Structure 1
Amino acid sequence: MEKDAKQSALNAAEPAVSIPVHREELNVGTRTVDTGRGVRVRTTVLERPQQIDEVLHSDVISVEHVPVDKIVSLEDAPASRYEGDTLIVPILEEVLVVERRLRIKEEIHITKSRRAQRHSETVSLKSEEVVVERFDDTSDR
């Protein structure tokens, strides 16, 4: 109480000032309004035939096994290669080779030649003679 008395004594000495205080408030809500317009959604599916004419490409691959059976050195081993549209892939196989080899020790050279030589000699020759007889008085030899 004593405080109130002091406060009122101070207020009496000064002129009174009033400050207006404002406060706003907001109310949010919804309401249904009838506008009188309805909405109808209708869908229709139409089908029509469409002719298409396109070229379709496909690759046809043929594989052919070609026997070669050729011995090559390691340095001469072929790699895959193209010959035209054909891819050639060599199939390599390592094989162990044991072989017997022939060594030529020497050669003998034989030459045939023809010579002409004159030869004279006396020989005895035999011959036969035939006689045929006929009965008509003529004789033939």
Structure 2
Amino acid sequence: MRSAPRSMSEEVIPLVEESAVVGKREVVTGRVRVRTVTDTIEELAQADVQHETVEVTRVPVGRVVETAPEIRTEGDVTIVPVLEEVLVVEKRLVLKQELHIRRRVEQEAVEVPITLRKQRAIVERTDPEDPAPEGPPT
């Protein structure tokens, strides 16, 4: 079956159309107060310290030498030659003395009281109906 072509004009009648609008609003569901507390702890800082002393011994020699001896080390002693020119009929180099230098290292433990600081945060929850606190928390 075939349908006959329509000869009538169709009329469109506008109907009501709904539209949705999405919005958002802030709602306070709770409050928190954060404050920091600094605690101090007294402790003893420990360390090993050392100090060094030098002992100088003058050793008379009184020997004639042709050239100046070099500074030398024998064991833990450093020997520094001290020279003097002496006028004779001829000029001679005389080793007057040597300085013997010995190093001593001493070590001792020391304790010094010090103060260390440590912070911690305290968070308190409050009711959303309570008024907000005035000024910064302490």
Q: TM-score, normalised by structure 1?
A: 0.36
Report 1 or 2 for greater relative contact order, CA contacts < 8 Å, sequence distance ≥ 6. Answer: 2
Q: Which has the larger radius of gyration?
A: 1
Q: TM-score, normalised by structure 2?
A: 0.37
